[in-house]
């Protein structure tokens, strides 16, 4: 498998996870409140993201590669290890599984209760429902920032921003279209498994780029990634097995929870 394919898959999976989370928020805002306002929030969020991307994109490509790799590698390592930590805790039953259905219901209930409380403060300029607009806007902007960060940093480090951008756009478009078609939370997306894979990939790229950015050279150069990623995956699976074994058989697994979006 070439480095380009690994880059594409990593960016596509990571961006799919973020897009599923943003879509859940937008669907809740549209269903509970007003589709036009939720749609305006999406458009406004994408517009702000476009400005940020236009500002950051050229800057990323102009940074010296060792400094970029060190900085981005460190960030990816921190993000990757945090994702992997949560994924291992979920897979071993020490933490409730991420549940888009439950998150959707929670957002829906919050939006409906806001509707009852703030009937007089609903309109915002041309937007009929300020709450739906703000909820969608924040969801798209925050999750979108992660998509932009992933695409720019992966693409910048691999000298292939167009491929990383293509993977990100395809992931977001696919999830957005499916979400629009079904108008329901994308609970069938195997999000917990994908987060495990993304955690492994982020940690692997972070390990590779961080080390190279700090001035060291990997044996085998780029081919080292083909060893690093499976080694991290095996290590994480081993930790899942050990934690499962250590968990008391009488203890029930935690419920699927909507408590967090990450």
Partner 1 sequence: MASKIKAFGAFAYDFVIGDDWLVAAGVVIALAITYALAHAARLSAWWPVPFVIAILLPLSLWRAIRKPPSP
Report the nearest approach of partner 1 to the CB of residue 254 (Å). Answer: 5
Q: Does 81 bind partner 1 (CB under 8 A)?
A: yes
Among 44, 57, 94, 105, interactor with partner 1 by CB under 8 A: 94
219's tokens: 């044996």
Give the x-and-dash track for 160-199 against partner 1 (CB under 8 A).
----------------------------------------
Report the nearest approach of partner 1 to the CB of residue 30 (Å). Answer: 25
Report the nearest approach of partner 1 to the CB of residue 213 (Å). Answer: 8
Among 53, 172, 207, 233, interactor with partner 1 by CB under 8 A: 207
Report the nearest approach of partner 1 to the CB of residue 260 (Å). Answer: 8
CA dist., res. 199 & res. 79, Å (int): 8
How many chain residues are in contact with partner 1, going by CB under 8 A? 41
Residues 124 and 133: beta-carbon distance below 8 Å? yes
Q: Does 203 bind partner 1 (CB under 8 A)?
A: yes
Neighbours of 51 (CB within 10 A): 9
Report the nearest approach of partner 1 to the CB of residue 143 (Å). Answer: 12
Q: Does 44 bind partner 1 (CB under 8 A)?
A: no
Stretch that binds partner 1, among 18-26, 30-38, 54-62, 93-101 (CB under 8 A): 93-101
Task: Looking at residues 210 to 249 of the shown chain, list those that interact with partner 1 (rule: CB under 8 A).
Answer: 210-211, 213-219, 224, 228, 231-232, 235-236, 239, 243
Among 33, 86, 90, 195, interactor with partner 1 by CB under 8 A: 86
Among 33, 90, 95, 122, interactor with partner 1 by CB under 8 A: 95
- The string of DSSP letters for the chain reads --HHHHHHHHHHHHHHHHHHHHHHHHHHHHHHT-HHHHHHHHHHHHHHHHHHHHHHHHHHHHS-HHHHHHHHHHHHHHHHHHHHHHHHHHHTTSSPPB-HHHHHHHHHHHHHHHHHH-GGG--BTTBS-HHHHHHHHHHHHHHHHHHHHHHHHHHHHTT-HHHHHHHHHHHHHHHHHHHHHH-S--TTS-HHHHHHHHHHHHHHHHHHHHHHHTT---TTGGGGHHHHHHHHHHHHHHHHHHHHHHS-TTSPPPPPB-S---
Q: List interacting residues with partner 1 (CB under 8 A).
A: 70, 73-75, 77-79, 81-82, 84-86, 88-89, 94-96, 203, 206-207, 210-211, 213-219, 224, 228, 231-232, 235-236, 239, 243, 254, 257, 259-260
């Amino acid at each position: 498998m070439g480095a380009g394919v690994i880059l594409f898959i990593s960016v596509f999976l990571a961006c799919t996870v973020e897009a599923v989370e943003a879509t859940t928020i937008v669907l809740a805002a549209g269903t509970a409140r007003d589709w036009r306002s939720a749609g305006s929030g999406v458009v406004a969020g994408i517009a702000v993201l476009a400005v940020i991307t236009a500002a950051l994109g050229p800057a990323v490509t102009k940074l010296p590669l060792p400094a970029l790799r060190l900085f981005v590698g460190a960030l990816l390592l921190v993000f990757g290890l945090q994702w992997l930590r949560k994924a291992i805790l979920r897979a071993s039953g020490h933490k409730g599984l991420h549940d888009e259905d439950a998150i959707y219901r929670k957002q829906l209930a919050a939006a409906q209760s806001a509707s009852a409380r703030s009937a007089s403060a609903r309109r915002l300029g041309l937007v009929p429902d300020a709450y739906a607009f703000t909820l969608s806007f924040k969801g798209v902007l925050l999750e979108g920032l992660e998509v932009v960060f992933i695409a720019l940093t992966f693409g910048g480090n691999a000298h292939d921003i167009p491929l990383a951008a293509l993977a990100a756009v395809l992931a977001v478009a696919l999830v957005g279209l499916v979400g629009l078609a079904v108008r329901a939370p994308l609970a069938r997306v195997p999000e917990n498994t994908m987060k495990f894979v993304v955690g492994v990939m982020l940690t692997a790229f972070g390990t590779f780029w961080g080390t190279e950015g700090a001035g060291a050279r990997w044996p085998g150069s780029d081919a080292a990634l083909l060893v690093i990623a499976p080694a991290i995956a095996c290590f994480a699976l081993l930790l899942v097995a050990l934690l499962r074994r250590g968990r008391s058989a009488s203890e029930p697994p935690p419920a699927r929870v909507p408590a967090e979006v990450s």
